Amino acid sequence: IACLVMYFFAEFDDAANLLAANPDATTISIDEPVEIPKNQQNRLQEPGREEDDELLGTDDSDKTELLAGQKKSAPFWTFEYYQTFFDVDTYQVLDRIKGSVFPVPGKNFVRLYIRSNPDLYGPFWICATLVFTIAVSGNLSNFFIHLGKPTYHYVPEFRKVSIAATTIYAYAWLVPLALWGFLMWRNSKVMNIVSYSFLEIVCVYGYSLFVYIPTAILWIIPQKVVRWVLVVFSLCLSGSVLVMTFWPAVRDDNRRIAVATVGTILLLHALLAVGCLAYFFDAPELDFPAPIIPAHNGTTVITKSH
Amino acid sequence: FPGLADVSISQDIPVEGEITVPVGSHSPDEDCSTLDEPVKDTIMRDLKAVGKKFVHVMYPRKSSALLRDWDLWGPLVLCVSLALMLQGGSADSKDDGGPQFAEVFVIIWFGAVVITLNSKLLGGTISFFQSLCVLGYCVLPLTVAMLVCRLVLLAGAGTVSFIIRLIVVGAMFGWSTLASTAFLADSQPPNRKALVVYPIFLFYFVISWMILTFTPQ
């Protein structure tokens, strides 16, 4: 028991806090079967079971599978099975969103916030909000850019909503699927300390997309510099959440593969941001009140910034 | 129990009493005679039920009539009329225009189903069709807003008309959200109310956006 305790102690940055809070907790957990507590959060004063679950559930991959199986014990064709994916309270969702927008360096989002209670509420509704935010903001931004031109007639561009929905939902579900498959494959070759279930990866991706929502709203501002600064800023924030989550899962692997994996994750994330900016938001023009300024020889008062 | 050890049941206690089966004094004769009643009565009964629910939506009070006797006629009528009124928008190409009839239909019904599933998955106690009924009926203020917008657009399409439309749609959006929240929020566990109310907000926001951005030819 002491050896196991030392092993877990070495692996976790915040283990010291938890063990200091509840030194007896680990011994209890090893003897008895652990039942997953329903509402976990980042609170040190909760009784020992949550810390044990965090120590055992997210570090040891075997235990993760076992505990995950214990939790979702209803058969998959019943309604109760899917209810286990929505077992979150309002404050938990808000905490997870806060954790994705303000990533703490060194802290793993999954370990800190999700802790074996991945939910589908966050990913689904954040993606839905993002779809409509991008469509509405793009429409508004195009309206303001082209306002005042005599030939411009406003169109709602409703078709873009379905395109946005397809893109964002595909990204939020297919990329985690591919990543999970890849990590499982590498896990079979190289024993990794940290491994994630599919739902946890979906959860991380879903919550990491949250920072794009205020970014999309701010993209209405029709200045190229502002937009690209926003892209870089939001990419740093959400990218760092993803990197800090997945680096521990691949760092024990071959160096090149680890770097390539993390690089691909970041590249796809950047592609999503840049692609949305390019497709939904027309390029702003350099001179705004173009129709008012009398044009010399009719030539370029308006310069297209392409 | 020590005190009962010497209690014995005498064999000759007479059993008395009355066993009566209460006969339903007014057996529901509607069951027999709804087949015989004139068609006008049948239709008027359903129409009155729908109309009563409309009134409940416009003046939301904590009445359970909307929930108890759910029906989907009202939502269907509202959805079809809203989708019809959203037709006729201008577009240079088919891709850039407003939502098609089928798109409005799908958004309203699929959106309502998803919100209902969401609230049930979060542990709500309301039944599936009751929730659909409430969400559908609470589209009524937005349908009224669409009507007003079309009338305002007949008068002109300038900035003033846009501001009027913005105010009307905004007010109706708030009304819809408040009305549906008043009916639905009570059936949720208290620490998850915001999680259930937010999708309803998003749903009516999308419908309001479709109404506000309608531009006629």
Task: Give the least confident one: A154-158, A188-192, A196-200, B88-92.
Answer: B88-92
Please determine, for residue A56, whether its predicted confidence score (pLDDT) is greater than 50: no
Nearest to B121 among A82, A156, A159 (CB): A82
Supply the pLDDT for residue B201: 94
A81/A301 Cα distance (integer angstroms): 62
Task: Provide the pLDDT confidence category of residue A4 given band limits of 50, 70 and 90.
Answer: low
Of these ranges, B6-10, B46-50, B54-58, the one predicted with the greatest mean pLDDT is B46-50
Kindly report the nearest CA distance between residue A171 and chain B, in angstroms.
Answer: 20
Q: Which residue has the tokens 């600064």?
A: A229
Average pLDDT over residues A186-206: 84
Nearest to B91 among A90, A125, A155 (CB): A155
Nearest to A155 among B92, B122, B199 (CB): B92
Task: Provide the pLDDT confidence category of residue A230 given band limits of 50, 70 and 90.
Answer: very high
Average pLDDT over residues B129-158: 90
Please determine, for residue A38, whether its predicted confidence score (pLDDT) is greater than 70: no
Please report whether residue A5 resides in a domain: no
* 8 A C-beta contact, residue A284 and residue A220: no
Task: Provide the pLDDT confidence category of residue B187 given band limits of 50, 70 and 90.
Answer: confident
Supply the pLDDT for residue A252: 79
For residue B87, what are its two tokens? 């037709």
Task: Provide the pLDDT confidence category of residue A43 given band limits of 50, 70 and 90.
Answer: very low
Supply the pLDDT for residue B92: 55
Whole-prediction pTM value? 0.74
Supply the pLDDT for residue B148: 93
Q: Which residue has the tokens 């259930």?
A: B196
* 8 A C-beta contact, residue A157 and residue A139: yes
Please report whether residue A273 resides in a domain: yes
Which of B86, B101, B122 best probes binding to A when mutated, by most A CB atoms within 10 angstroms?
Answer: B122
Please report whether residue A18 resides in a domain: no
Task: Give the least confident one: A72-76, A234-238, B94-98, B177-181.
Answer: B94-98
Please report whether residue A111 resides in a domain: yes
Nearest in space to A305 (alpha carbons), one of A220, A216, A232, A224: A224
- Structural element, H or E, at residue A43: none
- Whats the size of chain A, residue-wise? 306
Check residues B115 and A188 and name the one with the higher pLDDT.
B115
Task: Provide the pLDDT confidence category of residue A71 given band limits of 50, 70 and 90.
Answer: low
Check residues A247 and A54 and name the one with the higher pLDDT.
A247
Task: Give the least confident one: A106-120, B55-69, B182-196.
Answer: B55-69
A19/A23 Cα distance (integer angstroms): 5
Burial of B144 (0-12, 13-18, 19+ CB in 10 A): middle
Task: Provide the pLDDT confidence category of residue B216 given band limits of 50, 70 and 90.
Answer: confident
Kindly report the nearest CA distance between residue A84 and chain B, in angstroms.
Answer: 8
Please determine, for residue B212, whether its predicted confidence score (pLDDT) is greater than 50: yes
For residue A45, what are its two tokens? 């004063």
Supply the pLDDT for residue A231: 93
Distances (CA, A) of A142 to A147, A220, B80, B216: 8, 8, 30, 19
Supply the pLDDT for residue B115: 93
Please determine, for residue A95, whether its predicted confidence score (pLDDT) is greater than 70: yes
Please report whether residue A49 resides in a domain: no
Tell me whether A83 touches chain B (CB under 8 Å): yes
- Residue span of the structural domain in which A266 resides: 85-282
B85/B210 Cα distance (integer angstroms): 11
Nearest in space to B203 (alpha carbons), one of B118, B130, B102: B118
* Amino acid in position B107: I
Nearest in space to A99 (alpha carbons), one of A81, A112, A116, A86: A112
Determine whether the interchain pair A121/B122 forms a contact, defined as Cβ–Cβ distance below 8 Å.
Answer: yes
Which of A86, A133, A161, A162 best probes binding to B when mutated, by most B CB atoms within 10 angstroms?
Answer: A86
**Neighboring chain B residues of A121 at a CB cutoff of 8 Å:** 118, 121-122, 195
Please report whether residue A200 resides in a domain: yes
Of these ranges, A88-97, A172-181, A275-284, the one predicted with the greatest mean pLDDT is A172-181
Kindly report the nearest CA distance between residue A110 and chain B, in angstroms.
Answer: 21
Please determine, for residue A265, whether its predicted confidence score (pLDDT) is greater than 70: yes
Nearest to A86 among B121, B194, B214 (CB): B121
Kindly report the nearest CA distance between residue A128 and chain B, in angstroms.
Answer: 9
A179/A174 Cα distance (integer angstroms): 8
Supply the pLDDT for residue A51: 41
Please determine, for residue B68, whether its predicted confidence score (pLDDT) is greater than 70: yes
Instruction: Share the mean pLDDT of chain A.
Output: 74
Indicate the number of domains in chain A.
Answer: 1
Task: Give the least confident one: B64-73, B88-97, B131-140.
Answer: B88-97
Please report whether residue A299 resides in a domain: no
Average pLDDT over residues A186-196: 79
Please report whether residue A175 resides in a domain: yes
